[in-house]
Structure 1
Amino acid sequence: MTRSGAVQAPAPSAPTAPTVVAAPDRVPRGPRRLGLWRLEWLRLTRTRRWLLLLVAFPGVGLVGPVFARHRDQILEALRIEGVPPATGMRADSGMAVYVYGSAQVGLLVGLALMASALAVDHRAGLAAFHRTRMHHARDLVLPRYTVTLTAVAIAYVLGMLIAWAQVHWMFGSLSARLVLYGAFYGLMGTVVQLSVVAGMAALLRRPVAIFGAGLLVVSLMPLASLWRPLRSWQPTELGTAPIELLRGHSAGEYTDNLVTALLISGLCVWFAVWRIGRREM
């Protein structure tokens, strides 16, 4: 109010800027830690080695029963003569093509992948890098062995399921119980073969040498069955179990072979861990 009594209007206030609340600073997340197991998985997937497993097992499972069904026509188209015509092809014949095909192609691929993975000391610089950062000797072997074995096992079972579906469609049904038992025994036979490569990796350094020595030992293992008392303990008999079970053999006949397979596999892996962990570069 002024001296004359007039009421003075309040002066307009300047508009105030809205208060800005600063957002809390976000701490950027660092890169994901690369552990040993993830490293081995990336080594398998990013190098496209899994494609070899697809060809060696599911590929054979897809083509094998087709070949058994149309063998004569395929041989005639390829102009291969001197082969007697196929007679009496049954469902077990289609599964046999997969089992014997994967035992040849899959064996070579599986042994090569395991030999490459367990060649720990092949490159001196990389070997020194790994050894100075490992706390236990098993870290040099077990992740490599387990990841490769798991990949081969998945490919083997997937190929068996594909072959089973093909046989069911082309020849007729098979006993699910016998097929699953056969898949388990065949898989354990593959485990023994890959474990032998682990044992060779404890003695040799280069992947080619490990692969060659492992293939030689695996190829000569069936000779032990020439001594009749060892036949029931021979782990290589597990490789043909998927077919023999479909042709009348019982699952209990392979118990001793399974025990031997587990024992040999455990000893080979233990020897690889013990020897590689103490080996000088």
Structure 2
Amino acid sequence: MSFMKDPKRSKFDVEPGLASPLDVAAGTAERETLAMVAEALKLRRTRLAFQPAVYAADPSIIGFYEGFIRLLDSRDRVIPAREFMGVTERQELGREIDCAALQMGLMTLQRNPGVRVAVNMSARSVGYKRWTALLRQALKQAPELGACLILEINEASAMQVPDVLLPFMAEMREAGIVFSLDDFGAAGTSLGLLRDFQFEIAKIDGMFIRHIDSNAENQPVVRSAIAIARELGMFLVAEAVETDAEANWLRDAGVGCLQGYLFGAPTVTPDFAAFRKGRTKV
């Protein structure tokens, strides 16, 4: 009886079950980044960078500002959000990031009466006691803040916990808060849930906006998003607008607000007085 010999193994083969050097390096880098994020939150090395969203019909008028959280390392350098946002989404650290963003957003509204600010959040934070306590306490002390606050929720996040999110949205609408659906069209959308959520604002993901004036593949996608938004009564905002040609196409297609570097980069020192420019005093 003969047996086949095992093929000769390369010296570069990795034993089954052992992580490759690249995996180990990636895991180490991830842990180091999360440690920096945790330290930044603990030491309050946090900022909000504000970017205006302007009316497509008249870009001189700002509809609202979106506040993007910035976490700083020990040398005051910004920790890239792409390196930790996806990892922290399901962790308590992600909820603490949302707490920091909400707290700074509410403080901004207190210091700048009448300005409208959108604060990003995960739908999972609705079940996080510290986050909801921050929001309810602020509304109790200053009920007028509700009419100036927009809570922006990522589409994928919203679709995962509808049973928790729907009653929360109903409660907060009583306080005047408006809800924005972020990354509209980027995830698998349930039209039934979208109808039930009744988001007041929908933001078309920037991946569909770049070169929209000449991109024949994305134009039907954006037109479809506009049609769905209109049917569901959502005010539409386009993200990542960088050229006049993109802005003109989006305006002609019926998008209500435009946001992107064409109209201003995110900054931690915004001129909130510009928000009142072109507005009639009530």
For the aligned pair, the TM-score class normalised by the smaller chain equals under 0.3
Say which one has the larger Rg. 1
TM-score (norm 2): 0.23
Bigger fraction of residues in helix = 1
TM-score (norm 1): 0.24
Bigger fraction of residues in strand = 2
